[in-house]
Amino acid sequence: MPGSVSTTHSVTKRYSIYILGAGFSCLAGLPLANELWPEIRRRAKSTSDRANQNFAKDLQAYIDYKRDCDAEILSPEAVQFEEFMAYLDVEHYLGLRGSDTWSPDGNETQILVKTLIGEILTERTPQKENIPSLYLAFARLLKPSDVVLTFNYDTLLERALDVEGIAYRLFPSRYQNVGNGQAEIDSSREEVVILKMHGSVDWFDRTQYDEIEETRLVRGLHPGHEHPVFSKTQELDLKPLTDGPRFSGDPLQRIYRVGNAAELYKSGPLFLATPLLLNPSPLKLVYSSIFQDFWKGLGRDGGLNFGMTIIGFSMPAQDEYLRQVIYRLVTNYQTKYWDDGFLEYRKTPLVMIDFRADEKSRRELLDRYRFIDLNKAVTHWEGLNEAALATLQAYA
């Protein structure tokens, strides 16, 4: 897509990059990845007969596959969630079911899992009045133009920013005008930039709804067919993800946010409205084209940022591709303009915050991040707590 997407728009402001993983949200009661699988299996059993039967059938097919190909005998409890989802991703992406392929969003089990993830995280995310003060304090630390790259599906950070009245946007660049493959950046607003790299439980793609609407108009039918999301704009407080001028064909224009996600998920699995998130799978990249703008230009960033923080992101094996991305960001940050700074600005040490109670687990994490120059970094191993916020404040 034409246009420039960069998180380092200028150096007139001293702003930072934050990288957030599941460890950021867990203190607010959000589950870690290894806690999702048993809960998804439990909830799948209480869905409709068809959904439950298809889930059980697909799970058994994967167990059979592992037995026949790897001589590995697995129980449902022992199945690795991410590997199972990768098996389903291959089947769907290659269209191995032929005409039985359910939808562009996935086959039925993939959609059920996405919906259950949305349901679980929406239930577990604190309401605005109950957000722990720690997250409100973190929100207050963020400066206009700070960029948050989060790999979490939940809406905890957005809620904390809303409570504190801090402006933010959920897309990379805001434009004043667009035309002829170029755009003029609109930098007039003071806002934090949050990029949810794997999607969000409250995001929905309008594409299929609009395609059905077009077909109905061709047939002479009235517009506005019944839909779990897009026919309930006011009830669900539905708003576009982006605003202002955008390039023609920008896929982000198709994404809408549901303000009242709790009401939506009360109705159970949404086979006609799938939350726009990438299932936890090593193959999630093949489904990420709609978020291409989030990634474009990231390999150049870090050099002219003046703060960098990584919170609760363990670089899990299913996200191996992210190692390449974060390597580029960290290396740019810790090498470019490090010694002499740029103009009057000097960089602060990279801050890594994670909960690691013993030396062994710390070494395991640092092995994944072996490209970090620890002489130019500060580590905090007690997770996100008051002391961690004090560390961030010291280097803000």
Based on the fold, state whether residues 140 and 282 are members of the same structural domain. Answer: yes
Q: Is pLDDT at 3 greater than 60 in this prediction?
A: no
Tell which of 123, 142, 157 closes a domain.
123
The number of angstroms, rounded, from the C-alpha of 233 to the middle of its chain's C-alpha atoms is 23
β-strand pairing of 255-258 with 199-205: antiparallel
pLDDT in tens, 132-188: 999 999 999 999 989 999 999 999 999 999 999 999 999 999 999 998 878 898 888
Tell whether 1 is covered by a domain.
Answer: no
Residue 270: what pLDDT?
65
Domain containing 140 equals 16-30+128-198+278-394
Tell whether 5 is covered by a domain.
Answer: no
| Rounded average pLDDT over 247-265 | 94
Burial class (CB in 10 A: 0-12, 13-18, 19+), 348: middle
pLDDT in tens, 24-61: 999 999 998 889 999 999 999 988 788 899 999 999 99
Based on the fold, state whether residues 162 and 190 are members of the same structural domain. Answer: yes
In this structure, what are the phi and psi dihedrals at residue 106, rounded to the nearest 5 degrees?
A: 140, 170
Q: Is pLDDT at 4 greater than 50 in this prediction?
A: no
Residue 114 is encoded by which pair of tokens? 């996405």
Whole-angstrom distance between the N-terminal and C-terminal Cα of the chain?
34
Do residues 7 and 301 touch, judged by C-beta distance below 8 A?
yes
Tell whether 337 is covered by a domain.
Answer: yes
Confidence of residue 14 (pLDDT cuts 50, 70, 90): low
Based on the fold, state whether residues 107 and 228 are members of the same structural domain. Answer: no
Burial class (CB in 10 A: 0-12, 13-18, 19+), 303: middle
Length of the chain: 396
User: How far is residue 274's CA from residue 115's CA, in Å, rounded to a whole number?
Assistant: 6
Based on the fold, state whether residues 60 and 93 are members of the same structural domain. Answer: yes
- Better-predicted residue by pLDDT, 14 or 91: 91
pLDDT in tens, 230-240: 999 999 999 99
Q: Is pLDDT at 119 greater than 50 in this prediction?
A: yes
Based on the fold, state whether residues 242 and 328 are members of the same structural domain. Answer: no
Based on the fold, state whether residues 186 and 282 are members of the same structural domain. Answer: yes
Residue 5: what pLDDT?
38
Based on the fold, state whether residues 297 and 388 are members of the same structural domain. Answer: yes
Confidence of residue 298 (pLDDT cuts 50, 70, 90): very high
Q: Is pLDDT at 300 greater than 60 in this prediction?
A: yes
Tell whether 10 is covered by a domain.
Answer: no
User: How far is residue 341's CA from residue 60's CA, in Å, rounded to a whole number?
Assistant: 57
Tell whether 8 is covered by a domain.
Answer: no
Tell whether 7 is covered by a domain.
Answer: no
Tell whether 270 is covered by a domain.
Answer: no
pTM: 0.93
Confidence of residue 359 (pLDDT cuts 50, 70, 90): very high
Residue 9 is encoded by which pair of tokens? 């728009």
Based on the fold, state whether residues 54 and 148 are members of the same structural domain. Answer: no
What is the domain count for the chain? Answer: 3
Q: Which of 8-17, 86-95, 111-120 has the lowest mean pLDDT?
A: 8-17
User: What CATH code is carried by the domain that includes residue 334?
Assistant: 3.40.50
Residue 34: what pLDDT?
84
Confidence of residue 11 (pLDDT cuts 50, 70, 90): very low
pLDDT in tens, 62-115: 999 999 999 999 999 999 999 999 999 999 999 999 988 888 888 999 999 999
Q: Which of 144-153, 180-189, 198-207, 370-379 has the lowest mean pLDDT?
A: 180-189
